[in-house]
Amino acid sequence: MGRSKVKEPLVIGDLVVEKPIIQGGMGVGISLSSLAGTVAKEGGMGIISTAQIGFKDPDFQSHQLEANLRAIGSELCKAREIGPNGAVGFNIMVATKQYDLYVKEAVRAGADIIISGAGLPVDLPKYVAEAESESDRMVKRGKTKLAPIVSSVKSVSVICKMWDRKYHTTPDMVVVEGPLAGGHLGFSREQLTELGADTKNVEKTFLREQYEKEIQGIFKVVKDLEEAYGKRIPVVVAGGIYDHEDVVHHLELGAAGVQIATRFVTTAECDAAEAYKQAYIQAKKEDIVITKSPVGMPGRAIKNPFLERIQRERIAPTRCFQCLERCNPKETPYCITDALVRAALGDVDHGLLFCGSNAYRAERIETVAEVMRKLTEE
């Protein structure tokens, strides 16, 4: 494949994505309609994060759920206006309180795909089927595709076995998210240490070959499922993918496509505030650290005064935004909604700046068109 153009489309059943590039979902408010719609317009798949998606709605402070559900439809509609012929879907965290309502609203809105992680989406097929039975959108665009996010052979095996046993179905696509990804990670801190993925010099310490053996194991599980169901199930790899060489490497490894998030933050079309984007550009390699999220999972973020403060003290929430299924406001070290919203709005000293391991490599603001061209052609 060398440095030639990445030509093969990503085929997910009857959904064909021109370029095998998925823009990863980033919340709160980082990947909304502008970024997702533009990626779709440029031939990739745009993904909108539903995490507190309605945070800019005037009604959000008093009615979070209603504001969020309304925003699912409105953000998808705006993305479709930007990229009417492209593929647009949602990333929905399993850890979300009332997860089922978010899934059903995404289906009713007409999402091409739902990508779901931060927990095991064992009942995702059930919620989608219930929503589709109430909707006529399948006639218009086809059924919403389902893609669990996994990090290990064990997690993909558990999900596939449960979907098979309970719902007699399989994923339409599988996303393998590795330990160099941004935001919440599907690994324990101990696993990150074992893989050399929690240092300030991960490109040298990360045991890439060891983790790629895990990826090959996931390919094997999915291949067996394909044969059992007589169905093509593409596997997409994510985490630490930043340039054309990374894309080519993972396609040659056997992936049908790649999911990239961090690279798209520093684009003109990204929905984040300019100060958020500049935080990436100004970050140094040693500024990218592992922290613990109230979700209960490790996360990768840019070191700032906020992270330094939560290491010293608890920041008691002043109110609860009802965002996570397993969050006790009386015990949580800080409110993750408040921290992520502050960051998205540009208060980078008092917010949580999630990022991937390559965030420090950003040098300037690019357009999505530039990024897509560089990922697929150089």
pLDDT band of residue 174 (cuts 50, 70, 90) is very high
Give the model confidence (pLDDT) of 103-141 as tens digits.
999 999 999 999 999 889 999 999 999 998 876 554 456
Q: In the chain, which residue ranges form alpha helices assigned H by DSSP?
A: 33-41, 64-82, 99-109, 124-133, 138-141, 153-167, 189-194, 202-205, 208-229, 244-253, 262-265, 274-282, 305-312, 336-344, 368-377
- The mean pLDDT of 64-78, rounded to a whole number, is 97
3-class DSSP string for 132-186 = HHCCCCHHHHCCCEEEEEECCHHHHHHHHHHHHHHHCCCCCCEEEECCCCCEECC
- The mean pLDDT of 274-297, rounded to a whole number, is 93
Q: Is the pLDDT of residue 228 over 80?
A: yes
Give the model confidence (pLDDT) of 325-337 as tens digits.
777 888 899 999 9
Q: Show me where the domains of the chain are located.
A: 10-272+362-377, 275-344
Distance CA 182, CA 262 (A): 7
In whole angstroms, what separates CA 74 from the centre of its chain?
A: 20
**Please, how many CA atoms are within 13 Å of residue 255, restricted to the half-sphere of its CB?**
26
Q: Is the pLDDT of residue 3 over 50?
A: no
Beta strands 145-150 and 174-177 are parallel
Protein fold of 10-272+362-377: TIM Barrel (3.20.20)
Q: Is the peptide bond before 28 cis (omega within 30 degrees of 0)?
A: yes
Distance CA 109, CA 30 (A): 20
Handedness of CA 130, 133, 134, 140 (dihedral sign): positive
Give the model confidence (pLDDT) of 8-57 as tens digits.
999 999 999 999 999 999 999 999 999 999 999 999 999 999 999 999 99
Task: Kindly report the pTM of this predicted structure.
Answer: 0.95
pLDDT for 328: 84
Distance CA 363, CA 378 (A): 18
* Two structure tokens written together for 257: 């496509």
pLDDT for 4: 53
